[in-house]
Amino acid sequence: MSTRAGGIDLGQCRELLERDPEIRHFVPVHLYGHALDMNELKELKDDFDLSIVEDCAQAIGASHSGVSVGTVGQLAATSFYPTKNLGALGDGGAVLTDDEEVATKARVLRNYGQSGHYVHDELGSNSRLDELHAAILRDAMLPNLEAWTALRRKTARLYLDAIRIPLIQMCLPSTSADPVWHLFPILVGEGMRDSLREHLREVGIDTAIHYPRIIPEQQALTKNTRFEVPFEPTNARRFAAEELSLPIHPFLIETEIRQVIDACNKWEPRGSAAH
């Protein structure tokens, strides 16, 4: 069995934008390394005159219908957190734009709001990527990105082809998408995720949950602010309850990948003898 890969539902976004013309800004997240439908995103941007910041933190190199993530929004952001597909040795990130005005503004904001030496025209912060990390990213990491992405894709293909147990649902990209598999999410029937997690842990396979708590339930948003979700976040709730991420990174060797596949296929949920 399979389901659509996680990520915001652009059809639902269109309905919302039609209902509420005051919405001006949109931050779509290309989650798990799967690009959203880039043509649909472009149509939303044009039809509703939106300003868009694409969150490409998990999807550097991903594309949909041949269109790369980060090329539709006025701005795109990515993360160089060490576990990301293009990771540094510590925190870091970048914003991408082809708009000179936006680029100048970003350069000012990341450097205490300085437009010149000791000239502060606005409030900013210190978000500069230090030079050592910039050099590590440019010389040691970036040249490997394509090869590392190919290895992630190979692992994903093996999982997709060989994990065959009805209790585990695969998250398939659409046929027009070319994901970079930052994560490999599967869905496990409600209430059974802990059993699979424990079963994998017993044979030395670590897994993670992305993400156990949905945004509308985060106190940071609900405590002091007027924060409304204009529709029931059914998909997000489902992923919070059922998602489990299997190991995926460029340094997995084939024996390890086969161990994950075998362990998944041999899983029998606690209290059940049937698959």
**In the complex, residue closest to ligand PLP by CB:** 79
Segment contacting ligand PLP (CB under 6 A): 33-41, 54-62, 163-171, 228-236? Answer: 54-62
Q: Which is nearer to ligand PLP, 129 or 160 (CB)?
A: 129
Among 7, 58, 171, 183, binds ligand PLP (CB under 6 A): 58
Segment interacting with ligand PLP, rule: CB under 6 A, options 53-61, 121-129, 154-162, 228-236: 53-61
- Only one of the segments 52-60, 67-75, 144-152, 193-201 lies at the binding site for ligand PLP (rule: CB under 6 A); that segment is 52-60
Candidates 55, 87, 106, 269; binder of ligand PLP (CB under 6 A) is 55
- How many binding residues for ligand PLP (CB under 6 A)? 8
Q: Could you say whether residue 134 binds ligand PLP (CB under 6 A)?
A: no
CA-based angle 269:273:206, to the nearest 5? 25
Q: How far is the CB of 194 from ligand PLP (least distance, A)?
A: 24
CA quadruple 173, 175, 179, 183: dihedral, nearest 10: 20
Beta-bridge mates of residue 64: 67, 177
Min CB(80)–ligand PLP separation in Å: 7
Asked if residue 212 lies in contact with residue 245, where contact means CB atoms within 8 angstroms, the answer is no
Euclidean distance between CA atoms 149 and 253, whole angstroms: 14
Contacts of 210 (CB under 8 A, 6+ apart): 32, 183, 185, 243, 245
211 touches ligand PLP by CB under 6 A:
no
Is the separation of the CB atoms in 7 and 30 below 8 Å? yes
* Segment interacting with ligand PLP, rule: CB under 6 A, options 51-59, 120-128, 153-161, 217-225: 51-59
In a 3-state reduction of DSSP, which class is residue 187?
strand
DSSP three-state, residue 252: coil
SS3 state at 169: strand
Q: HSE (CB half, 13 Å, CA atoms) of 166?
A: 2
Q: Considering the complex, state which of residue 133 and residue 189 has its C-beta at the smaller distance from ligand PLP.
A: 133
**DSSP-derived secondary structure letter, 29:** B
Judge whether 64 and 36 are in contact, CB under 8 Å. Answer: yes
Which residue lies nearer to ligand PLP by CB, 167 or 248? 248
Decide if residue 93 touches ligand PLP (CB under 6 A): yes
In angstroms, what is the minimal distance from the CB of 136 to ligand PLP?
15
* Contact positions vs ligand PLP (CB under 6 A): 29, 55, 57-58, 79, 81, 91, 93
